[in-house]
A and B are shown apart, each in its own frame.
Chain A
Amino acid sequence: MNTMAAERVTDRRQTPEPTVSGARRKALMEQFRKAKPAICMERTLAFTNSHKQTEGQPVILRRAKAFRAVCESITVRIFDHELVVGTLGNGHRLGVLCPEMSWSWLKEEIDTITSRKAEPYQFTDENKKLFVEEIVPYWRGQSLEEFCLERMPEDHKNIGIGTGIMDTEMKWRSGVGEITPDHQDILFVKGYSGIKNEALDQLRQLDNLSRENQEKRDFYRSMIEIAEAMITLGKRYSTLAESLAENCSDPVRKKELLTIARTCSNVPANAPASFIEGLQMVFFVQLGCLLAESSPAFNVGRFDQFMFPLYQADIEAGRLDRAEALEQIECLWIKLSEIFWLLTENGAKYYAGYCGFQNLTLGGRKRNGRDATNEVSYLALEATANVGLHQPSVSVSIHPETPDEFLIEVCRLARRGNGMPAIHNDIIATQMMMYKGLPPDQARDWNGLGCVVPSTRKVSEWTYAGQYNMAACLEWALNRGKSRKTGQQFGLETKDPATFTSFDDLLESFYGQVKKLIKTGYETTIIQQLVHQESVPRPFFSAMVEGCMESGKDLTRGGAKYNAGPGWVVVGCADTANGLAAIKKIVFDQKKTTMAELCSALDNNFEGFEELRQLLVNSPKFGNDDDYVDNLQVELADFSDREFRQYRDVLGLPFHSAIMGLTFNIPTGNSLGALPCGRFAGVPLAEGSSPHPGTDISGPTACIKSLGKMNHENQPGGTLLNLKFLPKAVEGERGLYGLSALIRAYFELGGYHVQFNVVDARKLLDAQLHPEKYGSFVVRVAGYCAIFTECTKEVQNEIIRRTEHCAL
């Protein structure tokens, strides 16, 4: 037990009464609640018009110039009460369409987008017209989507698009996302002026214009465009704030507006000089990310690490008190909640909840291995509790020397029932980063990405290249490669299952199916990486990752100092392990049924086979500390790792595996017939590496023991454990100590991530029936949080279905 005090700063001003009332937070939250998510066409139009003028120029330069055109022209707005400012257009919650990535989906969904079941968006008739008449004609035949689909072989498309068996939509219809700006060493040190000057220097140093240097020249010119664009965006906000201040009759607000003007005249052009400037820098960069390529997982990174020096300086100089700092953080949190990733209808099934997946990491260790918790870590937890919205996705990193005091505050926040924060094992995350190829000190400086992925600001990677449905492989092994739902021949035509004479026969067919599916996944990713290199280079992001400026190369070409191979997510691992265990037990150990009878039961979705189904349901299930099935789960995860690891991506880096979540388990489950674990056709699968909902019936310690048996470090794309508790089970300080001890124990066992939903099923059911009563009631969906009432009914049911642990 370590109770060493973290870096805490005492508020020097010692204000007798709080300087901040919480009224601003309430007003901003009210504005947020009233705003309905909408599609904005401002970026789309400016980006398109710029491209019309740059035909024939290098792709990277065209993208940089288009970005600049966007920053020079989109609406700038400062709303009432705001201290941190910036919008993606004229409104609060705006989705950005990137037609260079994909436009076809919106054209297909144009009549349903405002009314569809999952994540509808407002889309004005005027914008619809603009989209159809101006945008679509220009990009037809020119988008990432069309390039990718043109190159993908028919087989890969048949199995990998809209099937629930394999999905890579995020990489053929969207930018990569999945990156963390290097605030510590780049943005908070030199600002965009510094970046511009470096690019100018590099240009000057190019001594000849060889082929290689021509490419570098294009790259550095792009860097200058990007830097100018961001500097301009800041200046426009500064000017706007000044003019608003001039016309403001309220002296308090007038002063605030003048501060905003001053802040935006310094950032993002220069290094932030105060706490508020640091926050504003963070938000400008987030806006830049979205405007550059509307994608998920633009992470804030280790917020407490890069903000603490500014906080300390302001406090010590008496320019700021703790309450003001807290209020300013809350303002940023609300702005981050406005950001979401525009989704297709299919995408909305997987990533429900108007989420931006902007991960923000607290705690952990410094690069020298010492505890990194500081006062800003605590402030950020407090702000998260106060705001209670779904963004940023707060992650905490826990290691053996994390102060107990911090872990208790983490548990206190977790117990509020909003599902925040995601709790990570610093030691395992570091090992994962090392497995991805980073040296130990860099690995230790990891931060959360998207939902539960370990990454760092120094690395460029596709953490989520796609996902595959492992339970489908079991289905195919028991149906000679055919889908039970559609009859399509997706897999290998393996042996007739009725002829299996041993469990090994089954495993052989099954692993054959997995190998083939993984190979298809690998090939699909290679195609997509090539298209990304050619058609959607990433100048904006190359400016904020170390190595690109030095090498003169874009991220897609391997310009970053560190690169890691693509990650593929396994879905339905527990269902597969449970299914294999049930067959092993009932068919081969106890001989209570035959393979032929089992297959016939599956064909009939257990109709007329209830007795057999009960035998299957009551056989060992992952999540109960039972080696019989847990060993299979371990074997499956290790197999996925070994199989991916043999493949290399376009930069020569090894693929890797992950068992994390999002809401993949719903559509993947929908694509499958009955499974031998006793699950009926169409029912959602297990989530991430968690047990199948409702089957972990031996309490949280047994569940944790099962999960702890897995080798998390060789799933460097992340693993995920969701535990749901009834509020009663974790009440009082005792409950907090209980939770914190569970976390410490899970991490000692080598677990990587755990998140809690501490909420009564009755409350969830009530919120489903009476959404109006619950407003912005945030729950953890799967590695990320969303507003419960904005989730689809399927996702809501899924949350309700998870096992509740309750010790009475």
Chain B
Amino acid sequence: MNNLSRTDITGTVLEIQRWSVSDGPGSRTVIFLKGCPLHCPWCANPESQDRRVQMAIFSTRCVRCGACVRECPENVAIPAAEGAFGTDNCTGCGNCIRSCHGGARSWMGEEMTAGEVVDLVKKDMVFYRKSSGGVTFSGGEPLTHPQFLGEIINRCMDLGIHTAVETCGYFDWKAAEKTIAMLDFIMFDLKHMDEATHKRLTGVSNRLILENILKISSFGIPMVIRIPVIPGVNDDEHNIRATAVFVRDHLPQAIGIEALAYHRLGVNKYQALGIEYPLGHIEPPSDSRMAALRKLITDTGVPSITADNDYDAQLVRSRLKSTPKHLTKDGPDNAQT
């Protein structure tokens, strides 16, 4: 916890959400970092894609007091009720946000130091202790911020806080390698096994992703593979089975596959950003469809992880059995028993 000896690196944090039971083992604080190399049309956090800080507008909170108009040095601000004013002449001074009485505008994203992030994470220590929980880094793609992330994880290690990431797998291995080695748990997304389809859906090839997942696997960190199930997009049986086979044959460290049903809870965020929601026509998959896909996974010989078979217990067991990597990093192997 020696803050003085370390440079306090900053990063762009989108949001810090306290208490989640579905982003890793136990109760977790989730740190959303901004910036993602993928652009999936089903993304529930569109505000996380751009690495820059953005402005969100909540028109219903606007009281039309005109404070933003008065305070804007460039004369571009208009009451939030009338919508966004574009970024052409905006210098991003933030006067309109600070002067707003109703909180109708806010920055999406904030420059924070690693120390500030850890101070917030520390607030929920008692909840991690009671649930074998910890902190989860999400995004955006957290591993595109390897230094910032590394610094936070380092400090968490000092405090004995369990760390996890949710990653899309698309990142520079060399830059992220050391940071990954310090992690306790990884949730890795495999959105599609076919390279061309993957590129069509997300904007990037899956080659780097598959390379990275094999490298991560060699580290021996417990891992869950996640498939966001988007009806008509990637939920064909062929893709699900291909994913399961890949996991079975190449990822011995994975404790299973978690199929996550597509949901539309991000719709409001698209509105706040002033973008049209790209998947307006797709309905979330039915419970029976999800059950069928999960059966496909287990039939392939890979455990299916759901909200019902908590991976917590498995993880706690695995943690008890093997000494976490980071505890042995400076000492000889098996120095004590």
Q: A615-B101, A701-B127, A741-B133 are in contact. Are A734 and B18 (CB under 8 A)?
A: no
Check: A766 CB closer than 8 A to any chain B CB. Answer: no
Inside 8 A of B18's CB, which chain A residues have their CB? 698-702
Q: A610-B65, A742-B127 are in contact. Are A699 and B307 (CB under 8 A)?
A: no
Q: Are B126 and A735 in contact (CB under 8 A)?
A: no
Q: A614-B101, A737-B26, A807-B19 are in contact. Are A748 and B126 (CB under 8 A)?
A: yes
Check: A24 CB closer than 8 A to any chain B CB. Answer: no
Inside 8 A of A735's CB, which chain B residues have their CB? 21, 307
Check: A561 CB closer than 8 A to any chain B CB. Answer: no
The smallest C-beta distance from A328 to any residue of chain B, in angstroms, reads 32
Q: Are B27 and A732 in contact (CB under 8 A)?
A: no
Q: Are B63 and A610 in contact (CB under 8 A)?
A: yes
Q: Are A733 and B101 in contact (CB under 8 A)?
A: no
- Which of A611, A745, A749 counts the most B-chain CB atoms under 10 A from its CB? A745
Check: A618 CB closer than 8 A to any chain B CB. Answer: yes
- Please tell me which one of the listed residues B67, B130, B263 contacts residue A741 in the complex, with CB atoms under 8 A apart: B130
Q: A701-B27, A745-B126 are in contact. Are A737 and B19 (CB under 8 A)?
A: no
Name the segment of B169-177, B236-244, B308-316 touching the other chain. Answer: B308-316
Inside 8 A of A734's CB, which chain B residues have their CB? 21-22, 307-308, 310, 312
Q: Are A744 and B130 in contact (CB under 8 A)?
A: yes
Q: Are A807 and B65 in contact (CB under 8 A)?
A: no
The smallest C-beta distance from A64 to any residue of chain B, in angstroms, reads 52
CB-based nearest A residue for B309: A733
Q: Are A614 and B63 in contact (CB under 8 A)?
A: yes
CB-based nearest B residue for A807: B20
The prevalent SS among residues of B at the interface is loop
Q: Are A701 and B124 in contact (CB under 8 A)?
A: yes
Check: B75 CB closer than 8 A to any chain A CB. Answer: no
Check: A692 CB closer than 8 A to any chain B CB. Answer: no
Q: Are A741 and B124 in contact (CB under 8 A)?
A: no
Q: Are B126 and A749 in contact (CB under 8 A)?
A: yes
Inside 8 A of B44's CB, which chain A residues have their CB? 808
Interface range on chain B: under 10, 10 to 19, 20 to 34, or 35 or more? 20 to 34
The smallest C-beta distance from B22 to any residue of chain A, in angstroms, reads 6
Q: A611-B65, A737-B26 are in contact. Are A745 and B127 (CB under 8 A)?
A: yes
Q: A734-B312, A735-B307 are in contact. Are A618 and B103 (CB under 8 A)?
A: yes
Check: A225 CB closer than 8 A to any chain B CB. Answer: no
CB-based nearest B residue for A738: B21
CA distance A611 to B68 in the complex (A): 12
The smallest C-beta distance from A34 to any residue of chain B, in angstroms, reads 35
Check: B102 CB closer than 8 A to any chain A CB. Answer: yes
The smallest C-beta distance from B56 to any residue of chain A, in angstroms, reads 16
Chain B 1-33, CB within 8 Å of chain A: the 1/0 string? 000000000000000011111110011011000
Inside 8 A of B133's CB, which chain A residues have their CB? 741
The smallest C-beta distance from A381 to any residue of chain B, in angstroms, reads 20
- Which of A730, A731, A741 counts the most B-chain CB atoms under 10 A from its CB? A741
Check: B131 CB closer than 8 A to any chain A CB. Answer: yes
Chain A 689-713, CB within 8 Å of chain B: the 1/0 string? 0000000001111101100000000
Check: A805 CB closer than 8 A to any chain B CB. Answer: yes
| Residues B124-146 near A (CB distance < 8 A) | 124, 126-127, 129-131, 133
CB-based nearest A residue for B29: A701
Chain A 714-750, CB within 8 Å of chain B: the 1/0 string? 0000000000000001111111011001101100110
Q: Are B22 and A807 in contact (CB under 8 A)?
A: yes
Inside 8 A of A737's CB, which chain B residues have their CB? 21, 26, 131, 310, 312
- Please tell me which one of the listed residues B22, B67, B131, B312 contacts residue A611 in the complex, with CB atoms under 8 A apart: B67
CA distance A729 to B185 in the complex (A): 22
Check: B123 CB closer than 8 A to any chain A CB. Answer: yes
CB-based nearest A residue for B131: A741
Check: B318 CB closer than 8 A to any chain A CB. Answer: no
Inside 8 A of A733's CB, which chain B residues have their CB? 307-310
Inside 8 A of A738's CB, which chain B residues have their CB? 19, 21, 26-27, 131
CA distance A699 to B17 in the complex (A): 8
CB-based nearest A residue for B126: A745
CB-based nearest A residue for B316: A1
Inside 8 A of A615's CB, which chain B residues have their CB? 101
Inside 8 A of A745's CB, which chain B residues have their CB? 27, 126-127, 129-131
Q: A807-B19, A808-B265 are in contact. Are A741 and B308 (CB under 8 A)?
A: no
Check: B306 CB closer than 8 A to any chain A CB. Answer: yes
Check: A625 CB closer than 8 A to any chain B CB. Answer: yes
Chain A 513-532, CB within 8 Å of chain B: the 1/0 string? 00000000000000000000
The smallest C-beta distance from B248 to any residue of chain A, in angstroms, reads 24
| Residues B90-138 near A (CB distance < 8 A) | 101-103, 123-124, 126-127, 129-131, 133
CA distance A530 to B129 in the complex (A): 51
- Please tell me which one of the listed residues B17, B124, B306 contacts residue A807 in the complex, with CB atoms under 8 A apart: B17
The smallest C-beta distance from A59 to any residue of chain B, in angstroms, reads 54
CA distance A615 to B23 in the complex (A): 35
Inside 8 A of B124's CB, which chain A residues have their CB? 701, 705
The smallest C-beta distance from B60 to any residue of chain A, in angstroms, reads 14
CA distance A807 to B22 in the complex (A): 8
- Which of A611, A729, A738, A805 counts the most B-chain CB atoms under 10 A from its CB? A738
Inside 8 A of B103's CB, which chain A residues have their CB? 614, 618
Inside 8 A of A744's CB, which chain B residues have their CB? 130-131
CB-based nearest B residue for A732: B307
CB-based nearest B residue for A702: B18
Chain B 128-168, CB within 8 Å of chain A: the 1/0 string? 01110100000000000000000000000000000000000
The smallest C-beta distance from A772 to any residue of chain B, in angstroms, reads 28
Q: Are B123 and A625 in contact (CB under 8 A)?
A: yes
CB-based nearest B residue for A806: B265
Q: Are A742 and B27 in contact (CB under 8 A)?
A: yes
CA distance A807 to B263 in the complex (A): 13
CA distance A732 to B130 in the complex (A): 18
CA distance A618 to B61 in the complex (A): 12
- Which of B17, B22, B30, B263 counts the most A-chain CB atoms under 10 A from its CB? B22
Inside 8 A of B17's CB, which chain A residues have their CB? 699, 807
Inside 8 A of A749's CB, which chain B residues have their CB? 126
Q: Are B101 and A610 in contact (CB under 8 A)?
A: yes
Q: Are A805 and B102 in contact (CB under 8 A)?
A: no
CA distance A731 to B310 in the complex (A): 11
CA distance A610 to B100 in the complex (A): 12
Inside 8 A of B312's CB, which chain A residues have their CB? 734, 737
Inside 8 A of B308's CB, which chain A residues have their CB? 732-734
Inside 8 A of B21's CB, which chain A residues have their CB? 729-730, 734-735, 737-738, 807
CA distance A805 to B103 in the complex (A): 20
Inside 8 A of A705's CB, which chain B residues have their CB? 123-124, 126
Chain B 48-67, CB within 8 Å of chain A: the 1/0 string? 00000000000000010101
CA distance A698 to B19 in the complex (A): 9
The smallest C-beta distance from A204 to any residue of chain B, in angstroms, reads 59
Inside 8 A of B123's CB, which chain A residues have their CB? 625, 701-702, 705
CB-based nearest A residue for B104: A614
The smallest C-beta distance from A805 to any residue of chain B, in angstroms, reads 7
CA distance A705 to B124 in the complex (A): 8
Inside 8 A of A613's CB, which chain B residues have their CB? 101
CA distance A735 to B310 in the complex (A): 9
CA distance A617 to B183 in the complex (A): 40
CA distance A150 to B5 in the complex (A): 75
Inside 8 A of B63's CB, which chain A residues have their CB? 610-611, 614
Chain B 287-319, CB within 8 Å of chain A: the 1/0 string? 000000000000000000011111010000000
Q: Are A701 and B309 in contact (CB under 8 A)?
A: no
- Which of B65, B131, B133, B309 counts the most A-chain CB atoms under 10 A from its CB? B131
CB-based nearest B residue for A805: B19
Closest 8 CB pairs of A and B: A732-B307, A614-B101, A741-B131, A738-B21, A807-B20, A699-B18, A744-B130, A745-B130
* 5 A–B pairs (Cβ distance < 8 Å), ordered by A: A733-B307, A737-B312, A738-B21, A741-B27, A748-B126
Other A-B pairs, 9, CB within 8 Å; known A699-B19, A704-B127, A737-B26: A610-B63, A729-B21, A734-B22, A738-B19, A738-B21, A741-B130, A742-B127, A748-B126, A808-B22
